[in-house]
Amino acid sequence: MLVFFRDGFYKDLVLLLVVTVMIGAVFSQGVAWAIDTYFGDTLDGMIGEYGEYDLILHIRDEAKEAALRELERIGEQSFPGYRLNQTLTIAGQANFFIGLPEDYRTKEVLESITSYFGAVPGINGYTLMVEPSVLLRGVHPAVRDELKEQLEDLRDVRFVVQDGVNLVVVLTREDAVSGVTAAIEDILQQYQIVELRFPMGFEVDTREVGEKAMAILRSQEGMGGTYRNVTSAEYGEDLDAFLKTLVEMRDFLGSYASQVRIAPAPGVRLMVGEWILLEDDITVEITGVFGDLVEGMIVEGSPVQSTDTVVYQGFRRLAEGEQGEFVGDVEIENERYRLAYAVDESLRLLAELEELSVQASTAVDNADAVLTTFQEALMQLEVLQVQMRQLNEGIATGEAKSSGEQFLVSLLLNGLFQTLAQGVIHSGEESLDSLEHLDIEAMRNSLSGISEQIANVQEIDVTAIMEQIGFVRDTLPNLNDAEIGQSIRLINTYLGGQVIPGERVQLLLEGGRVDEKALEKLFQKELENPYLHTYSTSVGMVSPDARGEIFRILKEVRSIVAGILSIIFTVMVLVLDHATIFSTLKHLLASRKPLRSLWRRLLNPILILGGTLGAFLLTSVYYLSRSQIPYFQWPAVVVLGFVLGVLIVVFAERFSPVDSMELMAAQSLGLSNCEIMREVVIPPSRPGLMVMLNRFKKQF
């Protein structure tokens, strides 16, 4: 094979490779650079040049005209010499870039942006973009002031502005950014926040636990630094609130789900998470096992609607969804149906209430008349009483001899009293005494009170209330158990992945470092809570400012584009140029004896040559064009190049077929391989670099 190159063609090949690599690098980098420049210019047009603007005001799009007038007024009044530029509207939000004159770029102004611009129509917040600056995100409130002081003492730092939980460190000069960034990182290194998280449902006294935890830390050997309990609610409470809401929602849903209780048959063990099949296509998931009491929830199907407890037979659900052994009786109480029933009943009462109130007012009027009659009767009774006493005395002294007369009178008395006040009166005499104590006037007053209240009741819009309650009632049965069950499962899945921060205790460690995971077991043991977890966070994070971030991404894009272009370029060069060489080479070597063994075929010098060429081309172009594709490191580049080269060799004839007749004629005329390539093979092949370079070599 080497003979093929030896008689001069190797020079052409080397020249070709050098030119190819140079052009490839220039091409890939050139295009990438063009993209870079284009986007760079576009960005400058959009967000101004470095340091041109100091803040971005976000304004609702519909209010932007009014906002613009107001901004101009504020600008002229408070910041003469200001710059204003309205740029992109993103997601219904217009963005105004404002540049402050040098005299106004002060800590005082930048920390009171809200007081200047808070009244601008449609304002939706602002972003500081003072340059040069370093942005420190998510600064823990416990160290904020302390950090601010330290940062302001750094060299090249002009001042530090607090912007929510962030600190913007404004610098005196642009080239100090990296130095200050490093210095800030050093300061941050001195702090560590060790966080103990207790799962949902553990209400702990954060102060007390904090003290204990610090005592534990102090008792550890070789642990320098000072500790402070900096537990703060201000920090990351959004997620907490969200998770707590989810838990509330789950519990709310759960209280409306049918209650499922399973009495396991003897010898049956059930586990949380298992599914049980019931009749009527109902599936129940086990949610809790408490000794003999097993609870579950319905995840598929709906039970019979009944206020009574319904009992089903439960069967284990096998992996394929088939019905397994009997596991026990399953009682289902449909809470919603019961509720609906109760609501129904109250609705009926409510409907009667109106009628009742009408009836009641008539009744009160009647009662009044009754009372009058009653009072008269009482007076007559008193007379009767006197008469009877005399009669009694007469009887006792023997003046009245007839026992039949006596019997009649007592009978009469008993009957009368019983109709007036039931069950109170035992003997005529005492009962009459108590009757005398009845305050008829008071009773009359309270009767009039009742009639007033009844009038109030009549004023209430009972119909509207009934409509509302009816609406609630109608929706109740619409919630079906399977849906509730699925929602609960969904929420549980989400919560399962989260450590639900029930309570947290944060300890600030200054001037030391601990391995918080190594301490987890210790804390779990000492604080007697196996569910607590420990985490370590930083008190803040240095992050590139918006512009730096955009340019970093741009640079990355540039390298990726260059990388992709290098690969495309290499493939093109291989297809256009090298495929021709390989198909010729394969053709010329074909008259030799074929290689027998497989490994000789794999180690075929043409394949190896192709792979090497491919690897060389891709690697050189990739390197020279300063390409960088993420996760695509050097070995991968070399391997890809090799594979491409081998593929080109294998499919060489497809990409660039050689005219075997012309080739054979040229051989028969005694041409050297180099002459054959230059005069016969290359000129009619696909136009590429090789054809171009060959122009200068060929004689015909």
Partner 1 sequence: MLQIQGLRKSYGKLVALDGVDLTVEKGETVVIMGPSGCGKSTLIRCVNRLTEPDEGTILLQGQNVLELGHIELQDLRRKVGFVFQQFNLISRLTVLDNVIFHLVLGGMDRDQAATRGRRVLARVGLANTEDRRPHELSGGQQQRVGIARALVTNPEIMLWDEPTASLDPILVGEVLEVMEELVKTTSTTMVIVTHEVSFALRAAERIVFMDKGQIVEEGRPQEVLANPQSEIACLYRKLLVQ
Residue ranges binding partner 1 (CB under 8 A): 3, 7, 591-594, 659, 661-662, 664-673, 675, 679-680, 683-684, 699-700
Least distance from C-beta 654 to partner 1, angstroms?
Answer: 21
Complex with partner 1: residue 113 or 681, whichever CB lies closer: 681
Smallest distance from partner 1 to CB 682, Å: 11
Opening angle at CA 678, ends 675 and 683, nearest 5? 145
Q: Which is nearer to partner 1, 152 or 659 (CB)?
A: 659
Q: What single DSSP character describes residue 688?
A: S
Residue closer to partner 1 by CB (options 324, 684) is 684
Nearest to 501 by CA among 687, 223, 232, 261: 232
Torsion angle of alpha carbons 436, 438, 439, 442, nearest 10°? -170
Contacts of 553 (CB under 8 A, 6+ apart): none
**Cα–Cα distances in Å, from 397 out to 180, 390, 409, 667?**
125, 11, 17, 171
Nearest approach in angstroms of CB 669 to partner 1 is 4
- CA-CA distances (angstroms) from residue 639 to 213, 487, 563, 647? 54, 50, 15, 12
In the complex, least distance from residue 607 CB atom to partner 1, rounded to whole angstroms? 21
Locate all alpha helices (DSSP H) within 222-314, ordered by sequence: 237-256
What are the structure tokens assigned to 10, written together? 């190797």
317 vs 587, beta carbon nearer partner 1: 587
What residues have CB less than 8 Å from 631, skipping those under 6 apart? none
Question: For residues 594 and 582, what is the distance between their CA atoms, to the nearest angstrom?
Answer: 17
At residue 507, the 3 state secondary structure works out as strand
Strand partners, 328: 264, 314
The residue (of 401 and 592) whose beta carbon lies closer to partner 1 is: 592
Nearest-angstrom CA–CA distance, 115 and 121: 14
**CB closer to partner 1 out of 437 and 596:** 596
Three-class DSSP category at 204? coil
Nearer to partner 1 among residue 401 and residue 593 (C-beta): 593
* CA–CA dist 633, 285 (Å, integer): 49
Minimum Å gap between C-beta 672 and partner 1 is 6
Output 383 or 598, the one with its CB closest to partner 1: 598
* Burial tier of 335 (Cβ tally within 10 Å: 0-12, 13-18, 19+): middle
CB of 667 to partner 1, least distance (A): 6
CA distance 212 to 38: 60
For the bound state, the minimum distance from the C-beta of residue 678 to partner 1, rounded and expressed in Å, comes to: 9
- The single residue listed with the structure tokens 């107001």 is 70
Which amino acid is residue 647, in one-letter code?
L
CB of 692 to partner 1, least distance (A): 16
| Shortest reach from residue 5's CB to partner 1, in Å | 12
Least spacing, CB of residue 680 vs partner 1, in Å? 6
For partner 1, which is the closer residue by CB, 77 or 699? 699
CB of 64 within 8 A of CB of 94? yes
- Give me the sign of the Cα torsion angle 134, 139, 145, 149: negative
* Nearer residue to partner 1 within complex by CB, 245 or 660: 660
CB of 616 to partner 1, least distance (A): 26
Interior angle at CA 546, CA 543 and CA 549, nearest 5: 70
| CB closer to partner 1 out of 299 and 690 | 690
Contacts of 415 (CB under 8 A, 6+ apart): none
Alpha carbon distances (Å) from 543 to 52, 181, 253:
20, 9, 42
CB of 1 to partner 1, least distance (A): 12
Least distance from partner 1 to the Cβ atom of residue 592, Å: 6
Q: Which is nearer to partner 1, 222 or 594 (CB)?
A: 594
Query: Is the CB of 119 or the CB of 665 nearer to partner 1?
Result: 665
Measured from the CB atom, the residue of 460 and 664 that comes closer to partner 1 is 664
> 137 in helix, strand or coil?
strand
Q: Residue 663 Cβ, how far from partner 1 at the closest point, in Å?
A: 9
Residues with Cβ < 8 Å from 698, sequence gap 6 or more? 678, 679, 682, 683
- The residue (of 13 and 560) whose beta carbon lies closer to partner 1 is 13
Cβ atoms of 660 and 595 within 8 Å: the answer is: no
Determine the angle formed by the axes of helices 546-573 and 634-650, rounding to 10 degrees.
30
Closest to 536 in 3D by CA, of 555, 519, 559, 549: 519
Whole-number minimum distance, CB 579 to partner 1, in Å? Answer: 19
Least Cβ distance, residue 558 to partner 1 (angstroms)? 43
Q: How far is 151 from 481, CA to CA, in rounded Å?
A: 59
> What is the C-alpha radius of gyration for the chain, rounded to an integer number of angstroms?
48
> Residue 2 or residue 442: which is nearer to partner 1 going by CB?
2
> Nearest-CA neighbor of 485 among 634, 301, 636, 315?
301
Q: Read off the DSSP letter of residue 174.
A: G
C-alpha 120/C-alpha 55 separation (Å) is 15
